[in-house]
A and B are shown apart, each in its own frame.
Chain A
Amino acid sequence: MATAAGTDPKIERYLARVRAALRGLPEREIEDILRELHSHTIELAEQEGGTVESALQSLGDPVDLAGTYRSENQMARAECSSSPLVILQGLRHASRSSRGRVTATALYAFGYINVLMLWSAAIEKLLAPLRVGLWYVPGQIWSLALVTSGDAPEGARELLGWWLVPIAALVGWAVRSVTDRTARWWIGRYRRSRTSQGA
């Protein structure tokens, strides 16, 4: 953080608390936020009738302020990202209740579990073709037997053969796309509907 000479220890303490509560954001962003808050506080305090205390008061509680920065930044980044980690971070803020946040995160994870299963099936088919396949057993339901430990089910017929590889890869890609889009839509919907904290 850039600090001007003669910085008030109260400002330093305030910014240290903001920094601690911002942990997890990229260091460059944290530095930028702290530098801006520092500049803002100094300018307000140096104005006629201004004090460090009143300047810091206008920023509010440091932990609340950091929380607002975190949620605003992480949701905004998640909305235009295709990284599952960034989207997951955005989902952590995208509901008023903890139950809503847990449900959204669990559904997102469920989508990705399916993606991983489909892509694993595509790779496994290449490595051990007899262990994976879309098997049809007359009189039974259709099933995608993934990483089976032995032979195919008795009397079963494999339907796709090598076609399983591109099909599983494509379906996995489609599921991932739908999962990401749904999560981003959810985050954007929540962000637009909520009112800014502390406003």
Chain B
Amino acid sequence: MATGSRGDPSSPSPMDKWEVQLRKGCLELAILACLWPGKLYGLEILRRLESDSDLVLSAGTVHPLLSRLKAEGLLTSEWVEAEAGHPRKYYQLTSRGRRRAVDMAEMWSRFSTNLKNLLTPLLKEVR
């Protein structure tokens, strides 16, 4: 995952490592959220993640994850012939996937709000 690393890329700083771990932790939720409005294929998911959430991921990370989410029954897929000349594999949330996305989003929102309460005094002082 690209994280906008600072300094020597061969020896990431503890902050870089922490950022990578943080982003990885929300990857599943980010993919499920991407698919909330409708079906997308792999490359579209990668681009949506990049444009809407600044998550720059490699295809080698996202494709196996999509495969796993499908095996878990959270996604379904279908091949659609595209005008481009080659078929594309579109992913869609199942009802179970939609429930999981809502549960994860609610949990994330609660966690984020609580952490914000804790961080507000710290950030005020820095400013």
Q: Which residues of A line the B interface, CB within 8 A? A: 2, 4, 32-33, 35-40, 42-44, 46, 58-60, 64-65, 68-69, 72-73, 75-77, 79-80, 195-199
B72 and A76 contact, CB distance less than 8 A: yes
Main secondary structure on B side of the interface with A:
helix
* B interface residue count range (under 10 / 10 to 19 / 20 to 34 / 35 or more): 20 to 34
Collect the chain A residues with CB atoms within 8 Å of residue B72's CB.
Answer: 76, 79-80
B7 to chain A, nearest CB (A): 20
The chain B residue sitting closest to A55, CB to CB, is B59
- Asked whether B89 is an interface residue with its Cβ less than 8 Å from the other chain, the reply is yes
Q: How many A-B residue pairs have CB under 8 A?
A: 88
B84 and A46 contact, CB distance less than 8 A: yes
Collect the chain B residues with CB atoms within 8 Å of residue A76's CB.
Answer: 68-69, 71-72
The chain B residue sitting closest to A74, CB to CB, is B71
A67 to chain B, nearest CB (A): 9
Q: A59-B60, A73-B71 are in contact. Are A196 and B65 (CB under 8 A)?
A: yes
- Asked whether B73 is an interface residue with its Cβ less than 8 Å from the other chain, the reply is yes
Most A-side CB within 10 Å, residue of B23, B27, B87: B87
